[in-house]
Chains A and B, each alone.
Chain A
């Protein structure tokens, strides 16, 4: 095997927070599981089940109204406990109460290397696991009728407190490889597996049927969007697909065992967790059991995903479909006397305007305080330092704010997802909601193009 190509990124920022997940694995079962349509960008759910219906693992719960071949399977067997709707009857979550038997629908096992592209697509669509394959641009679920330019998988995460995929993939090399073999059939060209400079797991390093590239650098080097930009940037009209490590493993299980086994490993991290660590659970698990008696006193915020681009959830709420971690940090709803004027030895800042820059290896407890009021964009040249793409972030944000589709296109909107600009949002002096602006911009372009 020849040495993988290395791409070094000089821009970025590693945010060092307290409460990294300890490398211990615990089993946990949840009282409820749920599938949240809000996890899927651009999906209009149409329900297939009613409250009280019995379902098996793999039973489709709802489909996308506009692409009815894409359905979303129940993670466990049990009964539909509640279909929760929000304002304007927006479907928020479909709760399943497990029956403990975990009976699974059988989709039939098969060796993906012996199947055709059509057979693989059909199996993924039928089992609902097609939803694990997403596309760029727009971050929506891939279109099975298209052939992507390539498929990308990032095998490491550089976000704050991110889970260690080396630990997660341990012992699952076979499943991961089976998943990769299935994906390889779906693309006309290559599957790219991108690893970090610290990746040591042989499950990744020995992967076949893929092109391995090493990425070296701070966050967001682990974001698949950044990696795509440096391997083969997305032009107008290009479609690429991407998938997560645990998504590939789930796909691997489908082909190995013929069932939807929703088991994943979830990292529980953050300064407000008493005993951090990894949990074996299922997609869409209620975090109640994991966090019960395991959170520090006080007002805390639970986040499915990382602190930069995750989703806020309640303590009795559910993890996101694609998320591999739950972070718990303190809420910051307090007034700070002359907070902007203090020396700030314990304040985390990318700028060196607080004296904390003199202690670069300190780990921080950071709360959710905004640390200031929203202002017009004043400072320049800062976003560029944490955004390793050949794109002008400030100009792109302004084009998105102005709903100028043509300009967004010209400035490279197709290459980004909100998470790629999360660090810009974090360091922004003016407290602009950059990820929301980018998501709105992307949705505007998507609607215009479809």
Chain B
């Protein structure tokens, strides 16, 4: 480590102002601080600081996504061989999954981080860690047959329009990963809806066995084919077609546990999101006029990306409500609208993405009223004192 440190110290001046590579200063800094926590000490205020930083925070979120990612890789291969009607061993399944999923991850990171580095250098600040999470979230919410160039365009769109125009990590209004998905959804709807894109190779349709539709549970539900919705067992473990990371509920729950135990994800949002979804479903159950509305709350929550969205997307601290009371309202409404859009919107089988983006837009308003209530309480207190 010493040798590496010495080497970094040796080349560092070249990246500083006036050096040969001063245009790469942010890039150098990003790699240096990735390898070594900086030697900066406190100089004002508290003399000691918590060991946590944004790198640690973001890496915990990534760790929390790993179960969903690993299962997604396996399921990609599994669904592929299922569609072909072939027997395949574990290695073949994982091998195929890796082949399909890894390029999407690489492209997402390369495109997004590339833009982040350019902006950091241009603005003269350090590279923010925010994209480490977005860059992993984007592949997990993509259908596996998505063209790679679309992933690149969507990632760039998410970083430039979604984040940097607002001032970078911490300033954005909409969740960048969701924005990337929404971008593809509205720009190239054919590539992110339908039945064939969820299974690797199904878009081409070669050698597919008869009777394999590739439709997601939500696709079936939207088409009114309630009998084709997989069993709760399959929904829970995730042996179903869907976006790469969304299918296995047990993997997502594992991630949720990591986020909640470490205190990095807001349990308030996750819990209230699920409560919102359950509430909407129960209302549907009570006034059911079609088969979709009769589905049980458990089925609704385990279908599609509902759980994935509530655990990994709605909890984004930047775009969610910032106050604790606001988080309850925000999460509840996100879950509530997700189910409502899913059931009522014929154009799009899943509502989680739109519901969370909608709530992203309303989060500042929710906070405004929560904080205003606190302000009014303070004003009222002052007035009472003056009167008495």
Contacts and interface: CB of A to CB of B under 8 A. Distances in A.
Interface of A: 15, 17, 160, 233, 235-238, 301, 303, 307-310, 312, 327, 329, 331-341, 344, 347-354, 366-382, 384, 390-392, 394-395, 410-412, 418, 422, 425-431, 433-436
A122 B375 CA distance: 40
Interface in B334-369: none
Nearest to B382: A235
18 contacts: A329-B48, A337-B35, A347-B51, A348-B51, A353-B262, A371-B37, A371-B51, A373-B38, A375-B128, A376-B168, A376-B171, A378-B57, A390-B377, A395-B323, A418-B45, A426-B48, A428-B49, A430-B54
Interface stretch (B91-99, B198-206, B230-238, B314-322): B314-322
B126 interface: yes
Contacts of B162: none
A233 to B, nearest CB: 7
Nearest to A306: B47
Interface residues of B, number: 61
B10 interface: no
Interface of B: 1, 4-5, 33, 35-57, 59-60, 126, 128-130, 167-171, 261-264, 266, 268, 317-318, 320-324, 327, 371, 374-375, 377-379, 381-382, 385
A31 to B, nearest CB: 26
Question: Chain A at the B interface: mostly helix, strand, loop or mixed?
Answer: loop
Given A336-B36, A353-B262, A392-B323, A375 B170 contact: yes
Nearest to A394: B322
A378 B39 contact: no
A368 B42 CA distance: 6
B53 A372 contact: yes
Question: Chain B at the A interface: mostly helix, strand, loop or mixed?
Answer: loop
Given A369-B40, A371-B53, A353 B48 contact: no
Contact of A341 (B59, B171, B261): B59
Contacts of B41: 331-333, 367-370
Contact of A352 (B130, B261, B266, B385): B261
A394 B262 CA distance: 21
Contact of B49 (A235, A426, A436): A426
B37 A348 contact: no
B52 A351 contact: yes
Contact of B45 (A332, A353, A381, A425): A425
A378 B46 contact: no
Contact of B39 (A334, A412, A430, A433): A334
- B35, B39, B47: which has the most chain A beta carbons within 10 Å? B47
Contacts of B36: 335-339
Nearest to B263: A351
B60 A370 contact: no
Given A329-B47, A368-B47, A378 B130 contact: yes
B37 to A, nearest CB: 3
Contacts of B53: 340, 371-373, 375, 429, 431
A428 B327 CA distance: 20
Contact of A335 (B5, B371, B382): B5
